[in-house]
Amino acid sequence: MTLIEITIGFAILTAISAFFLSFLTSSSKEISFSADHFNAVILSQKVCEDLLEEIAVNPYGLETLGIDESINSKHDVVDGSSVFFSFIEDRTEPWGLIEPAKDGMINSSMQPLYSSVKKFKFGVSGRRLAKTGDHEDRNLVSCNVDFSWSAQTGKGAYNNSFELFSPVSVKKVSLGVSLNEAAIDARIPPEVFYQPSQTIGELATRIGENVDAVLSVGRISLVSRDFINSQFYRDSKDAIRILLRKLSTLSADDSEEIFETRLQLAKTWYEQAKVCFQIISYLEPHFTTLQQQGKFDGTSGSGFNPISFQQDLMSFRIIYEFFAGAIVQARFHYYQLLQPAMVALKGNKAQLQVIQKLIDIYRITSILPTRPEGMAEYRSFLNRIKGLSENRNPFVNRMIGHELKMLDNRNDWLQHYPNLGRIDDMLTGKMPGILAFIKTKTIGALTN
Amino acid sequence: MKMQHKSGTTLVELLVVIGLVGLIGAAGMHFFTSVNTSQKAFSQQAILQMESRKAFDQIIDQIREGTDVIRPVTGETMHYMVFRDLLNQVNMLYLEPNNDESVRLKQRVYRLVSYCNDFSGAYNKANEKILHNSIKQLRFSSLSPSSVQVNATVVSDKGEYQFLAHVGLLNVGGIE
């Protein structure tokens, strides 16, 4: 064997070694990258799940979290740099509370997670598909989660895009109850004006009034009378009487029955309030017609029967009062479902659903013109829930903080909730005028 | 004077060649041994990753069948989880010591057990499933009644892997 042969052999061995070394280094980098990628996928899913929870309790979750259409800055996953990784777990006293600045973050004591995710930076962007209007796209938000990290193979990146349902547009339904107007109108001449043989047009001509005014008086009268005499109204009142009686006989330790009875009471009151509001919404334009035409001002109008109309106005007033009372009663019974025994029985999911229902109801009672203390009651309720959710449920806690902030500007608050805005238009915008109208026109009935 | 011609190799040349071959051979052996060791380590890391993903998927799949988190309650962190499923059965995820694996891995590890309590209320072995054999630690934290955060560390021969996940439950249940 010559020296040349040995040199050639040595060179071949070196080449093979270099190849293996390169293969090993590359494998090592790939394995490491694969682990990082897996981590990025899991952490990105966590951010998605957090956003889903946020939006589920708060349609303005992105706004609350300060998420914009583009990613302006990226945050670390560790050391509590981001709200998404600040409520990880409860590791220190007081037990049962996750404190973001204390034990909620991923810090160096959480190994090996801390070391493996320390390198990650991430950003979140989001936008509502339609910024204005009532197109379905307005109820969808598009989110984007970007993770990046420095890897031995270069720069690691993982992106996750998804859409979430977040309803904020006006519901495409009439607030007024759906009635058979043709059938009601046919009853106006015989039942309101005692002229069974005349049409509305003939009747209007005979008494010297216009058709719109006759229709308005007729519909207000008949719909109000019908509701007060309806089977629904009687059945609802009976159902409430029976449920209250049952509730009074239940033993305090019969939590299941108490819960179900209370829930039925709350639902029955709420359903009554809903139907009453639909009637108010349906009849409101007719009051506006009469007010705009100056009917019943000074004289009672040339052809109307002021006595029967006064009675019908009183019926309408009862419907409004019934609505206002029923919504407060529904609120009371839903509130009772938050008692510790009830929560222990039905769990936190039912508790959260009751809180969400109560927030909807409190919003309505806070704008009732006949309940001036409504807003203070709502704020007080929100503050109680804020205290309860502090360091427990960050999604609810943030939603309430955002709601309290919005309440400082009533118009801004109502613009954020267009369905509530419509109810407010009715209750605050129209009802005081209607109630004043009824009061002046029924003063005789009240005082005589 | 005629020079005497020498043929073959000298003893010195032979010794040099043998020495070089021996040196290269030893270096080569060492290199290939280390290559083999590294390859094993990489394979084990890949297996650990695979095991972790398997554990992750199994935990997630199990939790996603739930409708209500019973324990931990919101704000709480626990080493086990209790939840209700669509059939109103109470399910539990918890750890129990795995002594054999602990001896083999020279550290305390646990089995991850999933148990579904059927309506009889009595223990039934058939309702028990082992989801993983070597979990070092497992913690469940609740931030809302509809989801749970899972923090788990999976152990294998060549290290440990910790993951953190947020899992949503089925969006049903509560008050009707």
- In chain A, residues with a C-beta closer than 8 Å to the C-beta of B31 are 17, 20
- Determine the pLDDT at residue A226: 93
A78 interface with B at CB cutoff 8 Å: no
How many other C-beta atoms lie within 10 A of the C-beta of residue A121?
A: 16
A340 interface with B at CB cutoff 8 Å: no
What tokens were used for A212?
Answer: 């719109």
Backbone angles phi, psi at B139, to 5 degrees: -135, 140
Q: With an 8 Å Cβ cutoff, are A116 and B162 in contact?
A: yes
- In chain B, residues with a C-beta closer than 8 Å to the C-beta of A351 are 145
**Candidate from B24, B74, B142 with C-beta closest to A13:** B24
Does pLDDT of A448 surpass 60?
no
What tokens were used for A173?
Answer: 């339904």
Interatomic CA distance for residues A145 and B166, integer angstroms: 15
Residue tagged 């991430």 (tokens): A122
B123 interface with A at CB cutoff 8 Å: no
Higher pLDDT, A442 or A182: A182
SS3 label, residue B146: coil
If phi > 0 it is left, if psi is from -120 to 50 it is alpha, else beta; for residue A304 that is: beta
Interatomic CA distance for residues A111 and A120, integer angstroms: 15
**Burial class of A302 by CB neighbour count within 10 A (0 to 12, 13 to 18, 19+):** exposed
What residues have CB less than 8 Å from A47, skipping those under 6 apart?
Answer: A84, A122, A124, A145, A160
**Candidate from B76, B145, B164 with C-beta closest to A88:** B164
**Candidate from A49, A117, A391 with C-beta closest to B147:** A49
Give the mean pLDDT of chain B: 86
**Candidate from A1, A348, A353 with C-beta closest to B17:** A1
**Burial class of A298 by CB neighbour count within 10 A (0 to 12, 13 to 18, 19+):** exposed
- In chain A, residues with a C-beta closer than 8 Å to the C-beta of B142 are 348
The end-to-end CA distance of chain A, in Å, is: 135
Higher pLDDT, A9 or A128: A128
pLDDT tens digits, A235-254: 999 999 999 999 999 998 89
Q: With an 8 Å Cβ cutoff, are B75 and A97 in contact?
A: yes
- Determine the pLDDT at residue A39: 87
B76 interface with A at CB cutoff 8 Å: yes
Residue A82, min C-alpha distance to chain B (Å): 15
**CB-based contact A327:B48 (threshold 8 Å):** no
pLDDT tens digits, A350-392: 999 999 999 999 999 999 988 999 999 999 999 999 999 999 9
- In chain A, residues with a C-beta closer than 8 Å to the C-beta of B147 are 49, 53
**Which of A431, A444, A446, A441 has the alpha carbon at shortest distance from A304?**
A441
Does pLDDT of A150 surpass 90?
no
Residue A46, min C-alpha distance to chain B (Å): 5
Give the mean pLDDT of chain A: 89
**Which of B91, B144, B88 has the alpha carbon at shortest distance from B113?**
B91
ipTM > 0.90? no
How many other C-beta atoms lie within 10 A of the C-beta of residue A345?
A: 14
Interatomic CA distance for residues A114 and A111, integer angstroms: 5
Higher pLDDT, B49 or A181: A181
Q: With an 8 Å Cβ cutoff, are A395 and B143 in contact?
A: yes
Q: With an 8 Å Cβ cutoff, are A113 and B77 in contact?
A: no
**CB-based contact A146:A157 (threshold 8 Å):** yes
The four Cα atoms A265, A269, A271, A276 give a dihedral, to 10 degrees, of 170
A346 interface with B at CB cutoff 8 Å: yes
Element containing residue A143 per DSSP (H, E): strand A140-151
What residues have CB less than 8 Å from A316, skipping those under 6 apart?
Answer: A220, A224, A280, A283, A438
Taking each helix axis from N to C end, the angle separating A374-389 and A394-407, rounded to the nearest 10 degrees, works out to 150
**Candidate from A28, A110, A112 with C-beta closest to B42:** A28
Residue tagged 């009554």 (tokens): A272
pLDDT tens digits, A1-53: 667 777 787 788 778 777 766 666 666 666 665 778 888 998 999 999 999 99
**Candidate from B17, B21, B175 with C-beta closest to A354:** B175
Q: How many CA atoms lie within 13 A of A188 on its CB side?
A: 26
Does pLDDT of A152 surpass 80?
no
- Determine the pLDDT at residue A77: 94
**Candidate from B56, B67, B139 with C-beta closest to A42:** B56
Q: With an 8 Å Cβ cutoff, are B35 and A20 in contact?
A: yes
A132-162 per-residue burial string, b: 16 or more CB within 10 A, e: under 16: eeeeeebbbbbbbbbbbbeeeeeebebebee
pLDDT tens digits, B140-160: 999 999 899 999 999 988 788
Backbone angles phi, psi at A213, to 5 degrees: -65, -40
pLDDT tens digits, A77-92: 999 999 999 999 999 9
- Flag the least confident range among A59-68, A150-159, A261-270, B73-82: A150-159
- Flag the least confident range among A62-66, A147-151, A170-174: A170-174
- Determine the pLDDT at residue A237: 93
Q: How far is CA A430 from CA A326, A426, A435, B104, B137, in A?
A: 20, 5, 9, 78, 62
Number of alpha helices (DSSP H) and beta strands (DSSP E) in chain A = 16, 4
- Determine the pLDDT at residue A447: 45
Q: With an 8 Å Cβ cutoff, are A98 and B139 in contact?
A: no
User: Which amino acid type is present at position A129?
Assistant: L
- Residues in chain B, overall count: 176
A171-203 per-residue burial string, b: 16 or more CB within 10 A, e: under 16: eeeebbbeeeeeebbeebbebbbebeebebeeb
Residue B163, min C-alpha distance to chain A (Å): 7
B146 interface with A at CB cutoff 8 Å: yes
- Determine the pLDDT at residue A33: 59
Which B-chain residues 5-24 have CB contacts (< 8 A) with chain A?
Answer: 17, 20-21, 24
**CB-based contact A241:A281 (threshold 8 Å):** no
pLDDT tens digits, A202-243: 999 988 889 999 999 999 999 999 999 999 999 999 999 999
Residue A98, min C-alpha distance to chain B (Å): 6
Interatomic CA distance for residues B109 and B135, integer angstroms: 5
